[in-house]
Structure 1
Amino acid sequence: MTTIHREFSRYRSGFGLACLALIAGCASAPDGVAPKSNGWMKDEVADSYVFGYPLVLMDVSREAATGSGPGQAAPNTLRHAQSLPPVGASSPPEPNLDTLASSGWLDLSREPVLVTLPDTHGRYMDARALDMWTNVVWSTGAAQAGDHVSGPKAQTIAFVPVGWKGTLPARVKRVEVTTRYVWFLARIQTHGGGDLAAVRRLQRGLQVTPLSAWDDRGAHGKGSAHGGEPAGATQSGDPVAPGTPSAQVAALDANGFFNRLALALEDNPPVPDDAHALKILGDIGVHPGDPAQLPSGAKDAAVVKAGLADGRARAAAPPSNLLAGNGWLWVGDDAGNYGPDYTLRAYAAYTSPGLATSRDEVRARVSKDSDGHALNGANRYTIHFTAKQLPPVRGFWSITAYTADGALDADAPVRVAFGDRSGARRNRDGSLDVHVSAERPRGGANWVPAPHGDFRLVMRLYAPKPQATDGSWQPPAIERQ
């Protein structure tokens, strides 16, 4: 795992060299005036961008999703997707065709907020809660074990501000959170079509209730502590796309980004182990709760701008500790619990907003075939799983094709996520051949419909087994036919 020391090793080295240069300058400069160097600044800005990117992205996402406008919902209110995304959908990036999502932002500033999950009666559902640094503070996967996972039983979880001393209702699980806001996300497996009605019934059983609206019998009270809406209120319609805020963050200049970071830090402090990262932010004029005071001289401003560009590039670049096999890339055991690995945390936020822990989901991507060429719908491909290479899951798995920018193909005749729950036909030896092409193959079995242009594949493993995240299993290569 990358550590905080590795994260900032470059800036430290640069700073040390800058100090040596400064000392040398003092000895040789006329009248004792030493030329100043700002070479350290670019690395500090880049490092600080990588450190703060997840918080800024989450804060922008929260602001976009909460309110009374179209596609928004009040804090402590869930919004439910009612149907699978249509052909051509691009928001959020890589739309999920396996599940319907319910999403909401919890505000813990006044009191604990309770979330109730229904008994799914065997239907697969995973739910998770992320703090504002994209760490998963609770999930259904953490409580599930064994070789097979179906769905959780009825339960209530109380998300509590750290240090809160009050009393919770009986049989409620307490989860302390250090940030003011929490992003709650639940996904219920569906086959589409007539099956959607059953999922919607389960969605109605998902409830969010501030503690003050919870009565003595464990039922929901008459009013919410926020805005006068009914406790546990829900709204229909797709949640605001988490991909949209990423474009807003990318458009921020240095002042816009670091101002946003400074304000968000006030309500959502990092953990004590991040003290060194806060010191670096202070070096460039960023302090929690105060407007950023970045170096503003002409030369310094150019260095800050270069550092920002470097930080953006680093957040988007696959880090060296991703798991990799046959062109596929995915986050391993550190998913959802990043510690001081700021580079991995930023990359996960950039590519997979709301990424679950390794016990909940693996999301592997590939965009090139076994020869290193870009996947393109003009070709036909085969993915050959041996009998011992099938995706190791306790839940289920699927493969979906997207355009190069993460959209469902607008020209596709169908929208299909192929997997073990969609009639996969194995060979006599137990192996499995998956066909990827723009046109339906002869027989039409085991087919992943692909866009006609360049595309990428995403393999989702729901409730993966340990070998999917410890590096002992690898997906097969994509072979061009």
Structure 2
Amino acid sequence: MTKKRREYPYSRTGLALAGLAFLAACASPPGAAPKSAGSGWVKDEVSDSYVFGFPLVLMDVSREAATGSAPGQSQPNTLRNAQSLPPVGASSPSEPNLDTLGSSGWLDLSSEPVLVSLPDSHGRYLDARALDMWTNVVWSTSAQSGADTVARPGTKAAAHAGGVKAQTIAFVPAGWKGTLPAHVQRVDVSTRYVWFLARIETRGGDLAAVRKLQRGIRVATLSTWADQGGHGSDASSAGASQSGDPVAPGTPAQQVAALDANGFFGRLSQALEDNPPVPDDPHALKILADIGVHPGDAVELPANATDGIAAGYADGRARVAAPPPNLLAGNGWLWVGDDAGNYGPDYALRAYTAYTQPGLATASDEVRARVTQDSDGHALNGANRYVIHFAAQQLPPVRGFWSITAYTRDGALDDGGPVRVAFGDRTGARRNRDGSLDVHVSADRPRGGTNWVPAPQGDFRLVLRLYAPKPAAVDGSWQPPAVERQ
């Protein structure tokens, strides 16, 4: 049965029990005596503050890792374009995408707007999004295109969504007053930095066409836009290309995990100065102040509360990694529903999503479901063979396309397996006579070799990606079938 429990920690409509501790300090009247370090409140508030601040710290570390002049980095307000599908091994990002080539860059709005120009994709699937430093999606192509459909390039298959028309977007710093060029969409952003990502559909053998579209994505500050003919700079020349998804592979999360409490909250304090939270977060700032964290200032965690700080910090880290109760769930699969990219004060969901799926799009752009167990609750393992049976009327509901990829439990491609386009509706899926579809998952190619997802030899996870999903995929009325062991 599909589950979608609206029991938000720090809910939009009310306070769940898990959120009461977070807001308790706010009930203290002005001028109240400082809290006692031994009262037990330190543990709760350090834990809650970690959950609140984790997305900003992760984004700030990611931005720092990706920007600069070192190999693999690029300057602010430029893009890096992936030139090939990701390799296997430790150098690959977690759960590398085998359906698209990505372009990524960090925009700095500290002094003026930054403009991004997208080319006409001529029907090829292209999605782009911009995230503020709290991982909220402030703009995406899906929000502009609605449910329009275009013909899939190079095939006679049914029309699908995802092609975009040429357009230019201006990301504008808060409070900026000025004039933008004609026909430019204005997007106001409250944080100094913006993470911009674009993905273009590929089947592996058409990379030249994808790279041409990548070169057509242009970025420039407003002051240089006119000097460059109103088109910005060529993204391909703004920085060297890199193989694989242009997001620092794994290192930002590892760097955050290595921080102690002083290091984490010190980083949070500095990032808050340029990247304030949205207006409905004042309670979180009050609690941060309780534990000695003020935007831009040195951190002074409560004295004589070493045990409480350590316990709260460990608890916060565990909570960030734990699936919150309001994920969509069905047949062992878990995925973020219609709140993806627009979290409001749902700090638990926001932190978990940043931890597991950094840069996640809105549910209108993509749904990404994961499963690690078969229908009997046993871990998926390459020593076994599995089948996923989609009934004729229960195929993944998309306006774009869908795919299934197997990764190791750590989110890597199998070192001993083939590097290939993920299996899906674009890769020769053969239906049964009744219109249903059986997808085979195993380490060895099944008899006939059709509808096969290659799996690692050991424990693994499956990721089902739905590009431009229909509402049924995000409102709980559809769920992926169980993974059955044969």
Q: TM-score, normalised by structure 2?
A: 0.90
Relative to structure 1, is the Cα distance of residues 474 and 230 closer, same or farther in structure 2, using a 3 angstrom cutoff?
Answer: closer
Question: 3-state DSSP class of the match of 2:197?
Answer: strand
The 5-angstrom pairing of residues 52-131 of structure 1 reads 52-88=53-89, 91-131=92-132
Is 2:406–2:455's contact at 8 Å kept on the other side of the alignment? yes
1:9 correspondence with 2:20: yes
The 5-angstrom pairing of residues 9-408 of structure 1 reads 9-11=20-22, 37-88=38-89, 91-146=92-147, 148-193=160-205, 195-215=206-226, 218-220=229-231, 233-238=238-243, 239-241=246-248, 243-297=250-304, 300-408=305-413
Q: How far is the alpha carbon of 1:296 from its aligned partner?
A: 3.2
Identity across matched positions, percent: 75
User: Equivalent residue for 2:152?
Assistant: none
User: Equivalent residue for 1:412?
Assistant: 417
Q: How far is the alpha carbon of 1:341 from its aligned partner?
A: 0.1
Q: How far is the alpha carbon of 1:8 from its aligned partner?
A: 3.0
Relative to structure 1, is the Cα distance of residues 393 and 38 closer, same or farther in structure 2, using a 3 angstrom cutoff?
Answer: same
Provide Cα deviations, 1:344-370, integer angstroms capped at 9, x if missing partner: 000000000000000000000000000
Is 2:37–2:302's contact at 8 Å kept on the other side of the alignment? no
Question: 3-state DSSP class of the match of 1:215?
Answer: helix
* Greater per-residue helix proportion: 1
The structure whose Rg is larger is 1
Equivalent of 2:442, from 430, 437, 440? 437
Q: CA RMSD in A?
A: 2.2
In the alignment, the residues of structure 2 paired with residue 230 and residue 401 of structure 1 have an alpha-carbon distance, to the nearest angstrom, of 32
Is 1:408–1:415's contact at 8 Å kept on the other side of the alignment? no
Letter in 2 for 1:265: L
Q: How far is the alpha carbon of 1:467 from its aligned partner?
A: 0.6
In the alignment, the residues of structure 2 paired with residue 447 and residue 88 of structure 1 have an alpha-carbon distance, to the nearest angstrom, of 22
Provide Cα deviations, 1:219-271, integer angstroms capped at 9, x if missing partner: 247xx8xxxx9998243114242532011101100000000000000000001
User: Equivalent residue for 2:154?
Assistant: none
Provide Cα deviations, 1:67-94, integer angstroms capped at 9, x if missing partner: 0001100000100000001233553100
Q: Report the more deviating stretch, 139-148 or 321-330.
A: 139-148
Is 2:472–2:478's contact at 8 Å kept on the other side of the alignment? yes
In the alignment, the residues of structure 1 paired with residue 460 and residue 36 of structure 2 have an alpha-carbon distance, to the nearest angstrom, of 52
Is 1:127–1:184's contact at 8 Å kept on the other side of the alignment? yes
Provide Cα deviations, 1:143-200, integer angstroms capped at 9, x if missing partner: 122363131011100000122111000000000000000000000000003x011101
In the alignment, the residues of structure 1 paired with residue 219 and residue 367 of structure 2 have an alpha-carbon distance, to the nearest angstrom, of 27
Q: Comparing both chains, which one has the higher relative contact order based on Cα–Cα distances under 8 Å and sequence gaps of 6 or more?
A: 2
Relative to structure 1, is the Cα distance of residues 15 and 143 closer, same or farther in structure 2, using a 3 angstrom cutoff?
Answer: closer
Question: 3-state DSSP class of the match of 1:200?
Answer: helix
Question: 3-state DSSP class of the match of 1:43?
Answer: helix
Question: 3-state DSSP class of the match of 1:156?
Answer: strand
Q: How far is the alpha carbon of 1:301 from its aligned partner?
A: 1.1
Relative to structure 1, is the Cα distance of residues 136 and 477 closer, same or farther in structure 2, using a 3 angstrom cutoff?
Answer: same
In the alignment, the residues of structure 2 paired with residue 230 and residue 348 of structure 1 have an alpha-carbon distance, to the nearest angstrom, of 29
Relative to structure 1, is the Cα distance of residues 232 and 416 closer, same or farther in structure 2, using a 3 angstrom cutoff?
Answer: closer
- Between the two proteins, the alignment pairs up a number of residues equal to 458
Structure 2: any 5+ residue segments left out of the alignment?
Answer: 1-5, 150-159
User: Equivalent residue for 2:462?
Assistant: 457
In the alignment, the residues of structure 2 paired with residue 478 and residue 71 of structure 1 have an alpha-carbon distance, to the nearest angstrom, of 38
In the alignment, the residues of structure 2 paired with residue 270 and residue 150 of structure 1 have an alpha-carbon distance, to the nearest angstrom, of 31
Q: How far is the alpha carbon of 1:304 from its aligned partner?
A: 0.3
Is 1:134–1:336's contact at 8 Å kept on the other side of the alignment? yes
Is 2:216–2:235's contact at 8 Å kept on the other side of the alignment? no
Is 1:91–1:244's contact at 8 Å kept on the other side of the alignment? no
Relative to structure 1, is the Cα distance of residues 115 and 230 closer, same or farther in structure 2, using a 3 angstrom cutoff?
Answer: closer
Relative to structure 1, is the Cα distance of residues 82 and 89 closer, same or farther in structure 2, using a 3 angstrom cutoff?
Answer: farther
Provide Cα deviations, 1:40-75, integer angstroms capped at 9, x if missing partner: 110100000000000000000000000000110000
Question: 3-state DSSP class of the match of 1:159?
Answer: strand
Is 2:78–2:235's contact at 8 Å kept on the other side of the alignment? no
Provide Cα deviations, 1:322-355, integer angstroms capped at 9, x if missing partner: 0000000000000000000000000000000000
Q: How far is the alpha carbon of 1:272 from its aligned partner?
A: 1.5
Relative to structure 1, is the Cα distance of residues 338 and 170 closer, same or farther in structure 2, using a 3 angstrom cutoff?
Answer: same
Q: How far is the alpha carbon of 1:414 from its aligned partner?
A: 4.1
Is 1:78–1:208's contact at 8 Å kept on the other side of the alignment? yes
Relative to structure 1, is the Cα distance of residues 437 and 267 closer, same or farther in structure 2, using a 3 angstrom cutoff?
Answer: same
Structure 1: any 5+ residue segments left out of the alignment?
Answer: 24-33
Letter in 2 for 1:115: V
Q: How far is the alpha carbon of 1:11 from its aligned partner?
A: 4.8
Question: 3-state DSSP class of the match of 1:176?
Answer: strand
Q: TM-score, normalised by structure 1?
A: 0.91
In the alignment, the residues of structure 2 paired with residue 12 and residue 464 of structure 1 have an alpha-carbon distance, to the nearest angstrom, of 36
Is 2:124–2:162's contact at 8 Å kept on the other side of the alignment? yes
Relative to structure 1, is the Cα distance of residues 15 and 279 closer, same or farther in structure 2, using a 3 angstrom cutoff?
Answer: closer
Is 1:393–1:464's contact at 8 Å kept on the other side of the alignment? yes
